[in-house]
Structures are given as C-alpha cells and as structure tokens.
Structure 1
Amino acid sequence: MHALGRRGPLVVSRPRSGRRVRHPARFHRETGVTLLFDAEVGREDFRGRRVTIVGLGKGRTASGLARFLVSCGARVTITDAKPREQLGEGIGRLGDTPVKLVLGPSSDDAALADPEFVFVINGVRPRSATILRALQRRIPVLTEIGLFFRLCPATIVGVTGTKGKTTTTTLIGQILSRAKRRVVVGGNIGRAIIQELDTMTKDDIVVLELSSFQLETLARSPHVAVVTNIGEDHLDHHGTRESYIAAKRNIVAWQGANDIAVLNLDDPTTMAIHTGVPSMVRGFSLSLRPRHGGFLDADGRLILTDGERRTPIIVASELRIPGRHNVANALAAAIVGEVFDIPPDVIGAELRAFEGVARRLETVAESDGVLWVNDSASTTPDATIKAVDAFDRPAVVILGGVGKGADFGELARVVVKRARAAVLIGTAADEIAGALDAAGAPRAGLTVELARTLEDAVTASRRLARPGDVVLLSPACASFDMFSSADERGDRFTALVRSFTEPVRL
C-alpha cells in the first residue's frame, strides 16, 4: 500500500495548471467574480499592511488569526455587524491583542474603508455584499484556513463529512500520535490552526476537521482527504444542496496524482465528488469489499486491504463508540493510520481505547434502568437518524431547535418506528410535530410532547422513559434559539442529567 510514512511529506497540492472551474459555489454570475479565495502571499506581505477581518463571532478563529497577523506586522481591524453587547465572548478572546474593533450595523462600510487585505471568518457568506464589493475592487480576500494551507510546511490530512467528521478527526489524531512524528489536530475543532504555524516543520502531520464553510472558498486540497459521507446540511447558508456538495468537493478537487482520497463507498454522493480527480482512492465500506482500503467482513471484523493481503484490525463489537456509522468512521481512521505506516496492532489498540467525543453519542449516566445519552452535536435529521439507529432499545428522543432548511420527513418516519416518545423544543418544534403527525405518530402510539425549555424536556423525558429505554438528546437542529452553541446545549443537558444521576464509569 502507498504510504506517506515511507515517502516523507508531500508537496502541498496546488490547483492543476492554475485551472479554475466555475460552478455554483465558486462563481457569482451577477457580479462576475470568482469565489475562490487564494492569493500568492507570505508572512512578509502583511508587514505594515492594513488588514480587515470580517466577522468576530465567538472569536475562536478571529482572535487566533488576528494574533498571527499582528505577529506578521499587520495593522488589523475586525468588523462585525452585531453590537458589542452580543460579542462579549469574542471580545474576551482577543485579550490585549492590538486590533481596532468596528462593531454594529455600520461595520460593513468600515470593512471596506481602506483595507489592503480582507479575511472572511467561517460562517460569513462569501456572496455577501461586503465580500463581493471587495472582490470587485480587487482587494485580496482570504480565509484563515486558506492561508494556513498556503503557508503550512507539514503533511496535511483533511476530514470532512455531514456526519462523523469530528469523531473521525479525533480518532485519526489518536492513531497518528503513535507515529514518530509530531501530530497537530485542529481546523473546525480546537483553536485557530494558524496559531500553530510558528512551530511546524515539514516532518509534522496536521489533521484538520474541515467544515463546508471552510471548504467552499478553498483553492487547495489536503495531501490525504477523508470524506465520511455527504448528506444535507447548512442549506440556510449554501442555498442549495448542489452548492453544499460543491463546497465539500473542494477537499479533493485540487488533489494531484500522488495524493490520497479516503472515501465512503456506500455513499454515492461522496464517490461522485471524486469524478475527474487524479488522486488515489482508498475506499471504506460496510457492504462492499474494495481492493484498496477497508471493509467490514461477514464475521464483523474491520479489515484493511492493499490489493494483495487482507489484515484484520478489530472486531466491530470491541468498539466503545456505538452505531454502524461509527464502524465506518473507524474504518476511515484505520486506513489513514495504515497510509502513515502505523502497525495494524497499534491501530487496533487505539480503536479499542477510543471512548468517543463529548456531545456525540456520549453516555452521560444510567439511572433506574434508563440510559441518558448526549448527542447535541447532531444538528441535522440524517445525523439524528443514525443516532436513533445506534441503539437497540426503545428511545425517548429530545428533538428541536433551529431548523437549517432540511426536511424532517424521513427522520419522523424513523422516530415513529423506533421511539417510544418524542419531546420537542425550540422554534422547529411545530414543524417537527407536523412531520411526526404526517408519519403516523398517532396511529403508532408515539407520545409527542412540546417543552418550553431544555429543563422541561429533561423532566418530561424522565417521566416518559421506562427501564430499558434510552433518553437521547439528538436535536436534528441548530441551537441558536436557546443556546449560543450545540456545545452549550449539550453541556446543559449533561448538567441536568447528572443533577439526579451518577455518571457512568467506563
């Protein structure tokens, strides 16, 4: 099997022949500007230059990027349309970093007052009027992750997917930590990865979780690209499913012949994004048996294959993370481990030891025969379907929050079939209730209750659950109507459950 461990670090992949392919995520027809943010810049290009960062938010990316740019000698301004009182967390993360803040409704005009470079923070729409005006004025527009790809000397592993990218990224990081090379994990998790540049060398490995927001304007691809699956998410941001898929495609779009794509063979959309890309495919599957990659055999073993030999790694029942989707995630991580020459027994040991990631099918407690599980990170219907299917016991499911444009029909059918009760919260509660009704909830005897708060939802779930049940917080929605993030929502759920139970000791 081709192994990066044998060859040493690869050269960073670049757009082939400087080619730019125009598609919905990259070209804005009304203004004629290309939405691929990539400029030939180095650290020295920021010295003494005026740089505007559009978007502060919670400050994780903006603060790290600002510190990096200041260290390069830039004069940094951060703008955000929200008022100061709504940006306390982001402002706090800036600390004493010497930046100018322009906040409130007038910040859009200030963003383009006199910058020589503009950076866009994750979640700011690249088609926004501010960004389009900057591009029309030929002001270089960049992103933190795009600049990192340009400047990073290390080998990059990128992971994306509608579901499973955080678990897979974390698991890959743990497996690769057994290599005789420094491993850094970041991207859409942890602090801004740009802050790690100063200590990186060509011998390091960087494992990045990459969201569709980060990918949609990226003009470079990682050396090893992992795609867990592609469903439907963030349609409120991308507009259409096609634009969402086009954003995801950038993780492989710029790969060369010496790069590797680790792809889910069971997902046709994932396979389709690799069309026309020359990189080598290592497929993983729960139903097929690829010549190069990994699969689940009839005996429930995870098998790695290089075209000539098949190597058993672990029995699926030994995994501590529940659900068939996590078997697929484990296969993807194992393939990456083999690419970097991690021995099979070491890969197996890391898979057995992995307890999962907080707020992703995280077991919180078991009390009076009821298992309480925190899956707050599931913010799409497809993710929640996989969560419900991960358990072979009746479920009381807490659903709701802010819908992101996805359809709840299939989720409703699964919940009606598999669950004992559904407790609904948030602004999407009525829409989900309607979907459950249309799916036959009354005829199936599914109890549906609306709760005003998460506290009320936990109280109702405690009343509805019976011994042998699982109470599953898997909202299928974003959290911003009630909480600042899915993490805060999950942490609140855990605190509520632990107020009347003892945590499970693994």
Structure 2
Amino acid sequence: MTVIFDTAITREELRGKRVTIVGLGKGRTTAGLAQFLVKSGAQVTVSDARSREENAEGIARLGDTPIEFVFGPSSDDMALADPELVFVIPGIRPRSATILRALQRDIPVLTEIALFFRLCPAPIVGVTGTKGKTTTTTMIERILQRGPRRVVTGGNIGRSIIQDLDTITKNDVVLLELSSFQLETLGMSPHVAVITNVSEDHIDHHGTRESYIAAKRNIVAWQGPKDIAVINLDDPAVVAMHTGSASEARGYSLTMRPRHGAFLDPSGRLVLSDGAQQIPLIEARELRVVGRHNIANALAAAVAGQAMGVPAPQIAGALREFEGVTHRLQRVDEIAGVLWVDDSAATTPAATLSALDAFDRTPVLILGGVSKGVDFAPLARELSRRARAAVLIGPAADDIASALDAATAGPRAPHLPIRRVAGLADAVSAAQALAQPGDVVLLSPACAAREDITRAKTIDAFNSADERGERFVALVRELAKGGPA
C-alpha cells in the first residue's frame, strides 16, 4: 500500500507551528527546508539517530539557523513529543517506526518536495528514471535556458529547491530531477514529466522491483489532461507506467517513429515530430556525449523542450553544445594507448551495461562499492563475453565475484581475470597492469559509494559517487605524470 505524505497547507499556516524534521544526513535537503520553515515563522527541531559528531557536515550546513537539535538513539521519541507537523527527508523509509508513530498520533507528515509542489507558482518539469536522470535534466536545463522563461533547477540535483521559492514567479519554469525516494510519497505530479527508463535500483530501500516502479510512477500518476508525459517507447516498463494517467503521452524512441515526440531516423538524425510535421534537429554524431543511451536522453530532452515552447533551432543548438556531466562517461586521459573513463555515477548494473555499449574498445572494469540489493547476474554474463578483466572493490566485491564466477563456470565458458583489491588506488594499479593498448579502463562501479539509509561507507570512506569519481580522476592524472596510482 502506497503511503502519501501530501497534507494541504499554505505558507501562512506554517507560522508558529512546532515542526520536527526527521533526519539530517549531509544536510542538503534538511538545511534548505529548515531555513525555509524558520523564515516562514515555524519553530523547528531536527532529529537524527546518529550522534552530533556523525552529523557534523549537516550541522555545518545549517550554520546559525535558529533551530533545536536532538541526536542519538532516543532522538525520535524526544522529537515526536509535541510537534504539530513532521517532515521526513528523502531516504527515510515511509514505514519506519518513527513515521508510523507520527501517523498513528494523527500528526501530519510531509516532505520538502511535496511542500514545494503545493506552494510553487511556476510550471514544473520533472525528470526521473533509473539512469540518465542527471544528464537528461542538465540537457533540458540547457534547452530551457534558450527559451522565454527563466529556469530554476533543483530536486535531486544540487541544493534544496524550496530555498528558491521566494524568488520564483509564475513566469519562470522549475526543472526538478526526482528520485524514487522523493516520488514515493508524493501525491502530485509535474506539468511535464519525463521518464528515461526503469530497471532494478534501490531494492534495499523499496523491498521489491514493483514497489520501486510504483514510486517512480507517481511522476505521472497525478497528472491531468493538460499535462504532458514524455516516455521512452523503447522501455516497456516505462510505457506501462503511463497506463491510467490522464496526461497526454509524447514518446521518444531509437527504433520507432512516434507521431508526437522524437526519434532517431535511419540516417542517424534526431527528429522532432509534432503530429503535423517532422523537424530534423541534429546528426547523432554531432552530440558530444557518447553512447546510444545519450542519444535517447537527447531525444527526451528535445521533447520536453518542445513541450515548454522552445523552438526547434534553439533545441538543436543546446544539444549540439552540451558537453556532458562530470562522472558520467567522462574521458579522463589516454595513457599508453589505454583510454581511462570516469563513470562513477553508474551506481546500478544497468548503468554499467550502458557504459559498455558506449565504447568500441575492450573494457577493463573497476566495479564495486555498496550494493543496492540488485541482481549482478545479467551484468556478469555480459562482462564474461566482452571484458578483458574485472577489478573489484568495496563490500559488494563478494557478490559481484560470485556472479562473475557463475557466468564463467563450465568448460566452454570464457575466462575472465578477476582481481579483488583493497581500495581505489590499488584498483587503478591493477587495471593498468591488466589493460592492453586499445582498451578502455572504466570506473563504472554498478554500486553506490555509500549506503543511502545506513550511510555505511566503503573502505575508501567515500561520501558520494562524485567524491569517488574525483579520487579516480586524481589517481589517473597522477598515473599520466608517471607517478604511482
């Protein structure tokens, strides 16, 4: 059963309210939300089951904001003593004991993103999907910046969006990257919703693939007949997600030609179709980002731009100039004929599979980190056929190794060298030894850098996929100078 945290409330009703925010984390969402609530006249308490020391980063983000903190194992009980409203940050399970106690006591439970949807005066474009969210969101941002409206971007990308509410007008457009954590309890949908694809992810949080997809579906579930859903026609799960939604569907495809949407034609051109005419945009080879999945991302972005009234020449120009997003198939260097690529943002096996398709070179993969509870078997089967070797790091190394062993078992199975190492520096050294001229070394871990809920860290103590990618880039650049990795 879906739990919706979507209490109707105005900003004026926040004044004087006793509000508890459950969860601090690194503070990106909590800091922005707390500052907004304080500015609105609320009395704010932030609770977190971890110690004050473990919350140092989040506390620093809040600065001198006048709020109360409650830390430690008994923090939730103390924080729920007398609040009139409870906010929960993304990643806290909606059926956690703390949230269930609040609901049982009839205390309204909300989220930052739900409050923003309630109060935002501007049209909202939302983007979700298992992979490609950030790249597609950034592509759309570049396109919308060439249109008539000012663009405000936030959500799962960058800082808390609610901090910008005071400056947003009805003449702007808000662009949100939305994760399954943000969507799972949301009872509203954006005016334009983009779904890139759906595969297994965050099973450790949602429990089942079905629950994960149900969370994602909220991006279109509450749309009305004047809203638009931009859907990937090449992904049956995405097409099924739109079933029952009242919105207009505009599709995009690498293999089909939708009447309303965008497609890749046989000559390799990206084409917009508005029902009456087909408008060529650019050649796929003009894109500066590699891989067929990025062609699909560009098609999705083009349809979203068209839906928001951006002319086709401006859409084409934005796509032609888009240089990609850091830590997503980012070329770092070529050393002794071996290309080194940072794809640290690939935190699922599906994302790593897309990375394999982006290069004609034989790959040496650096895999591992913290598993999200997904199945590594399909990735292992593909690696057994296509990879030169696999270098494994982090807590998920055992699970990945087991999947690779199964994929390479039997007398006719291909041989795949597997190296388990202690950390990323050792992984770079091992990959250098295994790679041959003409190969590509891919940091495409198929795992998180640290677990979303428990915040358990890898042996390298990375706080994020970005930090992991930055470390990899530094190691490769040191290697290029002739130093040790």
TM-score, normalised to structure 2, is: 0.95
Contact 1:75 1:99 in 2 (8 A): yes
Matching residue within 463, 472, 478 for 2:442? 472
Query: Residue 415 in 1 paired to residue 394 in 2?
Result: no
- Residue deviations 1:143-201, cap 9 Å, x none? 00000000000010000000100000011001000112110111001110000000000
| Residue aligning to 1:187 | 155
Report SS of the residue matched to 1:311.
strand
Matching residue within 451, 472, 481 for 1:493? 472
Sequence identity percentage: 67
Query: Residue 484 in 1 paired to residue 478 in 2?
Result: no
The residue correspondences of 1:324-473 to structure 2 (distance < 5 A) are: 324-440=292-408, 443-473=413-443
Contact 2:392 2:419 in 1 (8 A): yes
2-structure distance, mates of 1:243, 1:229: 16
The Cα RMSD (Å) is: 1.1
- Residue deviations 1:87-114, cap 9 Å, x none? 1111110111111111111112112111
The residue correspondences of 1:46-445 to structure 2 (distance < 5 A) are: 46-440=14-408, 443-445=413-415
2-structure distance, mates of 1:356, 1:60: 23
Contact 1:47 1:72 in 2 (8 A): yes
Contact 2:128 2:195 in 1 (8 A): yes
1-structure distance, mates of 2:408, 2:160: 46
| Paired residue type of 1:485 | S
| Paired residue type of 1:367 | I
Contact 2:147 2:311 in 1 (8 A): no
Larger CA deviation: 442-451 vs 118-127: 442-451
- Residue deviations 1:57-95, cap 9 Å, x none? 000000000000000011100001111121111111011
Q: CA deviation at 1:46?
A: 1.3
Contact 2:203 2:372 in 1 (8 A): yes
2-structure distance, mates of 1:342, 1:286: 22
Report SS of the residue matched to 1:459.
helix
Q: CA deviation at 1:347?
A: 1.2
Q: CA deviation at 1:325?
A: 0.7
1-structure distance, mates of 2:236, 2:50: 40
- Unpaired runs of at least 5, structure 1: 1-23, 27-34
2-structure distance, mates of 1:113, 1:370: 60
| Residue aligning to 2:454 | none
Larger CA deviation: 411-420 vs 187-196: 411-420
- Unpaired runs of at least 5, structure 2: 451-456
| Residue aligning to 1:30 | none
- Give structure 1 regions of 4+ aligned residues with deviation exceeding 6 angstroms: none
Larger CA deviation: 427-436 vs 342-351: 342-351
2-structure distance, mates of 1:88, 1:54: 16
Q: How many residues align?
A: 470
| Residue aligning to 1:9 | none
Q: CA deviation at 1:319?
A: 0.8
2-structure distance, mates of 1:324, 1:287: 11
Report SS of the residue matched to 1:124.
coil
1-structure distance, mates of 2:441, 2:79: 47
Q: CA deviation at 1:462?
A: 1.2
Q: CA deviation at 1:445?
A: 2.7
1:500–1:361 CA distance, 2 compared to 1 (3 A): same
TM-score, normalised to structure 1, is: 0.92
1-structure distance, mates of 2:36, 2:149: 24
Q: CA deviation at 1:361?
A: 0.9
Contact 2:341 2:441 in 1 (8 A): yes
- Residue deviations 1:270-314, cap 9 Å, x none? 011111111101100011111110111111111111112111111
Q: CA deviation at 1:441?
A: 6.9
| Paired residue type of 1:473 | L
